[in-house]
Chain A
């Protein structure tokens, strides 16, 4: 307990950083994932091809490599100067979106084809059919796997520590510098993550219950 209380400033800053990284990356990955899923089911071959190539590259690359790219290779490209935090978010979003895309796409396949037909028959364009009718139902059908991905994302944020972004995964380093008990300190980090996952689990259960009545 002492380790936690003596270093509460460290924990507070660390987990605040984790939460910031997570919230930005979660929202970003859901949006990008939905756009990629739309590309993969679109009738335009170029968009479909782009989606497929993207998924195969990002999903099959270790996250560490993606993060390393944005940490060390990106600045050398001298495109546009971004903060460590922003680069960490971009890496996490690009990586996680690939998984979000595939889950949403599997959700699209669960929506009966009649839904899209009715929508087209009413005069909706392809984009409207997707955004108004198909994607909302697709997402409702894949809440549990989407929650899985977001929980994985929450834990993946620790990789950003290697990036000098202040977050919970970097707490142990600071602890050892302060000479505190690192093992006990790490246990508290684990407890912190367990606590952070609780609201996600509750959200998932809540959405599941609310949306299942509509079917």
Chain B
């Protein structure tokens, strides 16, 4: 059981109308591995991330999470999503709930935990992301960095097997990026399985076990961060690195 990969994508294809966003994508993420997905915008990396918990359905191919193929929309899919944490670019905290309620809601309603246990766990997680003193505020009263840390705590409250990050720092002011990356780095060190779509090269170098480079819906490179940044093999990766490292 432990040698099945946490995420397995095989021959995955997806179109948005005419646009072929994912072309025969094959990807495996092992347990405890941190995979960073890089690539120019429009390369399909966000879509790739969103297909893993079926927020985007695919046209063909298979996706397995922890050895189980993704079920069709319904109760079984909801059950699988409960085990897959997701962090969005735009945070998507529930606007009508306080920070504490945001973190407690899914454990209460999906996992049917009792209130005391859910609250205790929520406070512990908020302390871990350094935001417990804001627990009674509403999301709109927090900064972007704080909101994203709450979003991470909310995902962790479900005790997920794997965490998906869809450009978690792209909507943040520069000075807030670090506080979110710090939380993610700690998670990575603790052995969480993570798939991170990002533009943060520093994080890729520091925390990733593997870097996957996408362009035009294809996985072009799949290597270690060291190899990728010092010795990219494809022209498209060289071009991409040239553009972002010189500015």
Contact = CB atoms under 8 A, between A and B. Distances in A.
Interface in B52-69: 53, 55
A213 B92 contact: no
B96 A123 contact: no
A130 B155 CA distance: 19
A14 B197 CA distance: 66
B131 interface: no
Interface of A: 43, 112, 114-115, 117-125, 128, 132-133, 136-137, 140, 211, 213-215
Given A137-B95, A140-B96, 8 more contacts: A114-B90, A118-B93, A119-B94, A128-B109, A133-B94, A137-B96, A213-B138, A215-B140
A60 B90 CA distance: 41
A140 B55 CA distance: 26
B230 to A, nearest CB: 35
Contact of A117 (B84, B92, B151): B92
A215 B78 contact: no
A133 B109 CA distance: 12
A93 B155 CA distance: 41
B107 to A, nearest CB: 9
The A interface, classified by DSSP as helix, strand, loop or mixed, is: helix
Contacts of A114: 88, 90, 92
Closest 6 CB pairs of A and B: A123-B82, A118-B92, A114-B92, A121-B86, A122-B106, A123-B110
B75 interface: yes
Contact of B96 (A112, A122, A214): A214
Given A114-B88, A214-B140, A215-B140, A124 B109 contact: yes
B209 interface: no
Given A117-B55, A121-B53, A123-B78, A214 B95 contact: yes
Interface residues of B, number: 30
14 contacts: A112-B90, A114-B92, A115-B94, A118-B94, A120-B78, A121-B84, A121-B86, A122-B106, A122-B110, A124-B109, A125-B78, A132-B105, A133-B94, A140-B96
Contacts of B149: none
Nearest to B141: A213
B79 interface: yes
B215 interface: no
Interface string B63-103: 00000000001010011111111101010111110000000
